[in-house]
Structure 1
Amino acid sequence: MDGTVDGFRYGAVTPVAAYLMACLGGALGLRCIVRSLLDARSWRAGWLALGAASIGCGIWTMHFIAMIGFHVEETRVRYDAATTVLSLVVAVAVVGIGVFIVGFRGTSGGTLAVAGAITGLGVAGMHYLGMAAMRLNGEVGYDPVGVAMSVLIAIVAATAALWAAVTIRGFLTSLGASLVMGVAVSGMHYTGMAAVSVHVHDMTGGTWEGDSPTSLLLPMLLGPVVFLLLAGVVVMFDPLLVLGERSSAPRPDSPAPNSPAGKRPSWRAAASSARER
């Protein structure tokens, strides 16, 4: 029989908490990417890695906080620990690929499109791998249209986030971009969840029991949440990263100062030339 699926068992608590975690991860990730582009002398790979880990952890914690509110009335839902951890690794690794492409290959339209597609597919892959971690007395089905829409939203959201990271410098504008990113990531999640249906197996002869979802998810969520808080401390104690002020070092996609494209006549040179004439 078809199970009665409820994605909001605790009302607005889990969606709001999930959205805030997505915003936090997005904000920290965007600021770290900006930091790597502002100063060529900084350890770019380190800042990009921190940004990718922040975005990946934010998306992962958003997903599983939201899944705490997922409930099937006819059966207990629990999660496989190994698959759950694997979904976190996938989120950080694939988001990292997209972030490093933008960080080292520049911000052209083609590069941004490729990086956004890879990152978006990583976000969607994390979501559905996390769903594959569910264990219940039944089979989970998906509406293909809903799945396709969720993947499309993930790609668009990832592309927009990367674009914001390489074009927005101010702290407040970057914060606004992270709020929009949180909406997009949450929208992707709940679009994917709207495509879910559960066919419950015959319950004759007893009930299918298991551990409560919170008994596994809450301890596992603690690590990524602590990581995001520590990343936030790094952000707060780096003035250049907070203010988003450009340093004198060139951006990776800007011409070198000594190249023909990078040379600009100064007013002193122009005045000297006028006097000689």
Structure 2
Amino acid sequence: MGHLDHAALGWLTPVLSYAMACTGAALGLRCTVRALGATGRSRRNWLITAASAIGTGIWTMHFVAMLGFSVGGTDIRYDVPLTILSLLVAMTVVCAGVFAVGYGRDRTRALFLGGLTTGLGVASMHYLGMAAVRLHGDVSYDPLLVGLSVVIAVVAATAALWAALNIKSPVAVTIASLIMGAAVSSMHYTGMFAVGVRVTPSGEVLPGATAMQFIFPLAVGLGSYLFLTSAFVALSPTTGEREASASAQRSVESVVG
């Protein structure tokens, strides 16, 4: 069996990937809170932003963590179409989960369905991302650990959506996103510990792109998107603030008039 290293770059990748997962979660929860206070097109847009933030955060977390993944005796390459597909899957299923909760009539059922959909989506994103790995040898999985990682994903997703519905204060959102980041990270590493690689050394060139050629630029791009969106959301006024400033303006006008 090849020696697997999950943190070839030391603490950098686990810490950075955890920060990405938390940022995505915090932004997603914040946007969902805003969505539930809005209506019509505004609600839909907030929900789409929430889903893209959570999806991006989870995907970036996975691949930043993968930058630290190495196998003794073989290089690692990534299949580009499959990797991009895993990003689209992450976005789509999180979107479905968030919309189920945003528009669900029955809270409990919406939460259960949304959590299940999102969790299974996160897990399939993870294993699609793993399927995109190209190396000299055979990859095997421990079915028990794979099952456990899927359970963690579903529980984490359900908890996150519950938090989005029930948590309003910024402090609580922060705590919830730290917990969610931890859950996503633990799901990732559980999934990674399920991996076994039997290396067959070979001089052949592997198909696909190296992590630095492809995943690093993509992760930096998506990371920037997360931070810019966070800034935008933090600075945009809430419905309450808008109403307050409108009524303040009216009272000023009536005084002047």
What TM-score, normalized by structure 2, do the two folds share?
0.89
Q: Which amino acid aligns with 2:234?
A: M
Q: Tell me the distance in 2 between the aligned counterparts of 1:118 and 1:62.
A: 19
SS in structure 1 at match of 2:238: helix
Residue 20 of structure 2 corresponds to residue 21 of structure 1: yes
SS in structure 2 at match of 1:43: helix
Q: How many residues align?
A: 242
Deviation at residue 222 of structure 1 after TM alignment: 2.5
Deviation at residue 226 of structure 1 after TM alignment: 2.1
| Structure 1 residue aligned with 2:31 | 32
SS in structure 2 at match of 1:3: coil
Structure 1 202/14 Cα, relative in aligned 2: closer, same or farther at 3 Å? closer
Q: Tell me the distance in 1 between the aligned counterparts of 2:187 and 2:215.
A: 21
| Structure 2 residue aligned with 1:79 | 78
Contact 2:53 2:226 in 1 (8 A): yes
Q: Tell me the distance in 1 between the aligned counterparts of 2:167 and 2:41.
A: 19
Q: Tell me the distance in 1 between the aligned counterparts of 2:114 and 2:126.
A: 18
Structure 1 49/208 Cα, relative in aligned 2: closer, same or farther at 3 Å? same
Deviations 1:191-227 (A, max 9, x none): 0001000011253xx3656753222211121321122
Q: Tell me the distance in 1 between the aligned counterparts of 2:161 and 2:36.
A: 12
Contact 2:77 2:206 in 1 (8 A): no
Residue 104 of structure 2 corresponds to residue 105 of structure 1: yes
Q: Tell me the distance in 2 between the aligned counterparts of 1:136 and 1:190.
A: 19
Q: Give RMSD over aligned pairs.
A: 1.9
Q: Tell me the distance in 2 between the aligned counterparts of 1:83 and 1:114.
A: 26
Q: Tell me the distance in 2 between the aligned counterparts of 1:3 and 1:193.
A: 14
Percent of residue pairs identical: 50
For structure 1, which runs of at least 5 residues remain unmatched after alignment?
249-277
Deviations 1:96-135 (A, max 9, x none): 0000010011462222111100000000010000001101
Contact 2:86 2:128 in 1 (8 A): yes
Contact 2:60 2:223 in 1 (8 A): yes
Q: Which amino acid aligns with 1:125?
A: S
Q: Tell me the distance in 1 between the aligned counterparts of 2:130 and 2:159.
A: 25
Residue 233 of structure 2 corresponds to residue 235 of structure 1: yes
| Structure 1 residue aligned with 2:8 | 9
Q: Tell me the distance in 2 between the aligned counterparts of 1:202 and 1:226.
A: 38
Q: Tell me the distance in 2 between the aligned counterparts of 1:115 and 1:157.
A: 11
Deviation at residue 84 of structure 1 after TM alignment: 0.7
For structure 2, which runs of at least 5 residues remain unmatched after alignment?
245-257
Contact 2:86 2:125 in 1 (8 A): yes
